[in-house]
Amino acid sequence: MMVASEIRPGLTDGLARTNKSVYICFILALVMLAASPMRAADAELQKNAEVHKIIVRVDPHTGKLVRYTIVIHPAAASAPPASISELVEKTSKAHNVDPLLVDSVIQVESNYDPNAVSPKGAEGLMQLTPPTAEMLGVSNSFDPAENIEAGVKYLKYLQDLYKDDRLALAAYNAGPAAVDRFKQVPPYPETQKYVEKVGKKYGEARSARDRKTTASVTAAVPAPPPQQTQPEQERHPKLEQFVDANGRLHLRTSQ
């Protein structure tokens, strides 16, 4: 026996809407799965792509603003600190400058960002101004090796010129003309703060190096051998001379 059943119109519409929602969710899931590999590929391409930085400089010959496009390669943009530290160590020793001083200058100048650009247009790790970079033959201030080579060479020139690290740092920041004018650290708040910050970092680094050196020397010196107790010397009785009643000389021991 068959029993006839009535399907209500409202129930039919609800099922249709449910099926439609499930279908839409399924399509969206397929789209997201297909897009994930594409996003990963795009991210990898962006990671390996060259970075183009636009720099506006004043042409020293014409005085006009000139726009330059600097190409920063991924290797330069993400240079590991270890590689930069090796460059600092090698370059500083080649020019007879304390690597700790160069390290302190870089920390204050750019905090080790090879692509840093100051509001005044100084560029790279040691913040070379375009005229200084041109004078020192730098073709790309954002290249760590070129920047450090030129910066250390310039710092060494200032050290030899003023025979005073404070004045050399002041000239590095404000220019030799300002130091020559005032015959001391110029009364510019920025320059005075700069000399103080670099000097503080340099002093702390030297103290740490001295402590490390002292600890190494102490560890390398062998401990003295334990002192041996000297054996107690044997005591011998003393000899005394005396003359008897007959005038003869005799010897006897005494305690």
Active-site amino acid positions: 109
Residue 214 CB partners (closer than 8 Å, separation 6+)? none
Q: Which letter does DSSP use for residue 244 in this model?
A: -
Between helices 144-162 and 81-94, what is the axis angle to 10°? 40
**H helices of 49-112, where?**
74-77, 81-94, 99-109
Identify whether the C-beta of residue 147 lies closer than 8 Å to the C-beta of residue 141: yes
Identify whether the C-beta of residue 70 lies closer than 8 Å to the C-beta of residue 56: no
Compute the distance between CA of residue 51 and CA of residue 72 in angstroms, rounded to an integer: 5
> CB neighbours (10 Å) of residue 164?
15
Compute the distance between CA of residue 132 and CA of residue 123 in angstroms, rounded to an integer: 10
Cα of first residue to Cα of last residue in the chain, in angstroms, is 145
* 3-state secondary structure at position 228: coil
* 3-state secondary structure at position 105: helix
Identify whether the C-beta of residue 116 lies closer than 8 Å to the C-beta of residue 129: no
